Every structure is written in C-alpha cells, then in structure tokens.
Structure 1
C-alpha cells in the first residue's frame, strides 16, 4: 500500500505492549491494533515516543513494525519512527522499517551532537533521497533539544523533501506558522501538519491542522475520532466539550508519584495501565529503566477511566 498524501485524521502513536520480561507482546500488540481500528482511526504511528522506541532494541523495533503492518494488511497507513542520533543511523532504521512494511517514516533532527539548521536540512535531504517512502519531520525539542524552524520545514516541504510535520513541540503559535505557511506557499502542493498534543486537538484543527497524533488515543480512540469529526463538521461547541472530556481523562498521566518517577514513566505507565484495565493488553509493563506504577496508582487510573465512561 502507498500512504495517502498527505496523512490526515487521527493517527495514534501506538503503545508497545511488553511481557513481564520486557519482550514485545505480539498478541497484545495485535489486539491493540484491532482496538484502534475499531475506534475508527485513520492511520497508525509506531516507534515514536509513546511506543517507547528509545527503549527498544533494533530487533524489537523491527518486530513492532512487522507485526503492525502485517496485521493491518493495507487497511490503514502505517507510519514508523526512524529515530536516532545521526544520519547514517537513521538511514539504517529507514531501510529496516520500510522493509518491515512501513508506508512512511517519521524522522527527528539529529541529537546528542550539536547541530546547525543547515546540518538539520542536510540530514532531512539525505534521508529523503535514500527513502522509498514519504518522510515526515518530527518536531520534539524536549527529546532532541532542537526546535525545527518553521521556515526550514516549509522550505523542505516546498522542495519535496518533507511530506509533513508531526509537531510535539508544545508551541501552538509556531505550529500555526507552519500550517498557514504551507497553505499559502505556492511551492507546496501536498503537506500534512499533525499535532502531537492530546490537549489542543480542537484548537489545532481550528487553525487548519490536518490531523492529530495523540498518545491518549490508545486509551480512547473513539473519543479522538469523534472530536476530529466534530471539528471537521464545524460543531465547535460540541468539539470543545469532547476535548475537555479528553483533557480530564489525560489527568491519568499525573497519578505517578514525581518523587520516585519521571514524567515518561508516569504517562506511559498510565496509558498501559488503562489498556490493561480495559482488557486490551495482557501486561502494563513499561520498558526499563522506567519506574512502574504502584497498585494504588493503577487503581487511580481506573477511576479516571470510570469517570470517562470507559470501564
């Protein structure tokens, strides 16, 4: 299958279910794909932050893509992260995930090394030249310590290097600059701007975004698909109410004790606990060295699910 150009709608960043000994739980991953598909999502994004890609071995990364792409069997586009420190390492991942069945790759700027915007541009041009599928930029400065300049993204979009942007920067004004710039740029004919924020999907769609990549959609795909539909239909009051319900549900990511765990452990632990409580996955384990939620914290996740009508 060739990915539609551009990818639009609700494209959840798929969690990676793990067994108690931290191997990929393939049956649970397939059930999660079925859960998301039944929710009406428009695509799937594997090997991003919510997928715990940074914690997975190369063997596990490939298994995730093979499992999801094989199970979807062309019914939905599968986007795969090709995320690593340098261009040669990213190119290795691009080859691996496309061979495993990915329809597009999502690529962050290089990290660890300090990079200049010219070097970031060269990075994307080299990746796009080698890739057999569309390349989507991943703007996630909290992880790579570089904010992708809107002008650079638009330049690469106009040159056909980038097919879109997944924006996880938290900078809605900067994201708007890309959205409006892509719409107005005479050289850009196909470019998809996707927000990675769970909390401002209605706002992003109102300013012209093409879709969303919300981690919380693992837990409530129907809610985000409903929100997307309401926004597309111009039912902004109902959309705001649905967004606010999802914002309340997102507070499950705050149950983890910050004195003993980081934000990633708390958020990913909550998503997986919710999927476990909903009967989608067999085990809520997160990858090492993340700290697991306590039984009491898992119980609090359940209360958030119940309040949202999901238990």
Structure 2
C-alpha cells in the first residue's frame, strides 16, 4: 500500500523466526506479522537489527520480504531493511525489495570504511534514485560507527531523498534538537524513535512513532503508549512506558559473561515469543548463542509479571 506521509504510530521491527536448522520459518513469521497487525501496528519493518539482517543470506532476506508482504496483504505498509556495507550492495537489496512488493526501504550509512557526510548524502541519494521507493535513514552509530549529522538528514528531507528517519542513536539531546527543526521546516518528514525505554519522551518531543524491538513481545503495550501520547494523556503514557521498561529486563536475562548483547536481546525476544506460542522455535542465527535454561526461566517470570503469560 502507499506509504503515508508522514508515517506514524508503532512500526515493529519484526524478529525473523528460524527453524532449528537455520532456515526462515515462514509460518511463524506470518503468524508474528498477523499478531502485530492485530495489535494495531501502523507498519511492519523487516530485516532490521531485531530481524537479524546482518546474519542472513541474500536468499533468506528474500524469503523474509516475500513472507511479510504476503502476510500484510496490503493492509499496512511493509518497510524492508536493505542494510549492507556499500552503496552497490545496498542498491541490489533495494531493487530486490521493490521487486518483492515492499512499500519502502530502510538503510544505514555505509560502513566498514569511514565516510564523510558528503559521501553519506550521495549514498542515500543514489539509493532513492535507484530503488524508486520511499527511503528511511537508520541512525544506529553503535552498529555502523557513524552518527548521521542532523544537517545531512535535514538537507535530504528538504530534497525529498529521505521520507523519514529511524533514530536508534541513543542521543536524546541531538534527537530533541532535530525534532524542533523538523517541526518548523518539514512537517511531512517522519522521525521515529527506536528506543524501547524512552518512547514517551520522544513522542512528547515530537517523534511520529516508535520502532521498538520489544514490540515483538508486547505490541499492545506500545500501541497503548502511542495512543495515550497522541491523546495527550502523558501520565498514562508514562505509566505504560514504565511497565514496558520493566519488561525490557528480559534482554538482561542472558549471561553477559559468555554471550554478546545481540544474543542476549534477540535470544530473549525469541524465547518470549516461543513461550507465548507465537513462533515455533527460539533459535537465533549463528554465530549468536542461544539463551540457557536459567535465562529462559527468567524470561518466563518477567512475562508473567507483565501479564503476558
């Protein structure tokens, strides 16, 4: 379906369910998408960080997009992550996403080599022209080691190259200043926060919506948070955010001394979805490690405390 301008609301970044032998579990992925749609999501974002895009083959990426587009069935837009190191490879992913029916694409700055803001702007411009789809910039310096300059984002918004921004920078001060400038100059530009823990603050500052990895586990909670904020019920929004912050402790259940942060967080999301019966298998893509039995018990306890089991 055509992408609304601006895109608003809760746009969950879908996990990618896998089978025990590492294949994309299309049945579970479609079931997850249907759950998020039923909860009131305004869009689906596949192949982001929560979707393990960095760990999947090109063929697996195709399967994810095909499955999500089929599950959405035109009821809401599907954004496809086209994350890769270089402009040429990102363009290949973007053209594939368009071919498979995605409604928009999401890309980071190039990574591996260091890039100048002029080169970053050229990267996004080539993507927009080559893909022919609405393009969202993904600001995640923890992963790509480049913070998107606000001036670059604003220039690309003004030229129509970018339709929006997913901010996962963790830099709330810079985000706040960007939102002030966006409100004044680019009212159709969509800034979405990727923060599970400070969504209420970002919405108060003017963000259009939330892209929460934890939204795979509790999409209804994030939709309630967004609806409270949209109605100006800030006390209720804060209370919902506090509840979700407590649930986010599932990402700390894994043993940080023996597994990485990605394994801890994505393993927790998938363990939770498996415990709730949404997906068939909690496997994560190698080289990530699965949660151990004690960690899964902790996830179960936190789900019960949140009223999800």
Which category of TM-score, normalised to the shorter sequence, fits these structures? over 0.9
Whether the 8 Å CA contact 1:103–1:133 is kept in 2: the answer is: yes
Aligned to 1:17: 17
Residues 10-159 of structure 1: matches in 2 within 5 Å? Answer: 10-159=10-159
Runs of 4+ aligned residues of structure 1 deviating over 2 Å after TM superposition are none
Deviation readout 1:46-73 (Å, 9 max, x if unpaired): 0000000000000000100000001111
Deviation readout 1:8-43 (Å, 9 max, x if unpaired): 100000000000001000000011011111111111
Q: Distance in 2 between matches of 1:127 and 1:12?
A: 23
Aligned to 2:213: 215
Q: Distance in 1 between matches of 2:38 and 2:128?
A: 33
Whether the 8 Å CA contact 1:14–1:50 is kept in 2: the answer is: yes
RMSD: 0.7
- Cα drift, residue 105 of structure 1: 0.4
Instruction: Work out whether 1:261 is the aligned partner of 2:272.
Output: no
5+ residue gaps in structure 2?
none
Q: Distance in 1 between matches of 2:180 and 2:158?
A: 14
- Cα drift, residue 189 of structure 1: 4.7
5+ residue gaps in structure 1?
none
> Alignment partner of 1:270: what SS?
helix
Q: Distance in 2 between matches of 1:126 and 1:303?
A: 48
Q: Provide the TM-score with structure 2 as the length reference.
A: 0.99
Q: Distance in 2 between matches of 1:173 and 1:292?
A: 35
- Cα drift, residue 7 of structure 1: 1.3
Residues 167-246 of structure 1: matches in 2 within 5 Å? Answer: 167-185=167-185, 188-246=186-244
Aligned to 2:3: 3
Q: Provide the TM-score with structure 1 as the length reference.
A: 0.98
> Alignment partner of 1:194: what SS?
strand
- Cα drift, residue 244 of structure 1: 0.2
> Alignment partner of 1:165: what SS?
strand
Whether the 8 Å CA contact 1:178–1:193 is kept in 2: the answer is: no
Q: Distance in 2 between matches of 1:253 and 1:189?
A: 35
Give the number of aligned pairs: 309
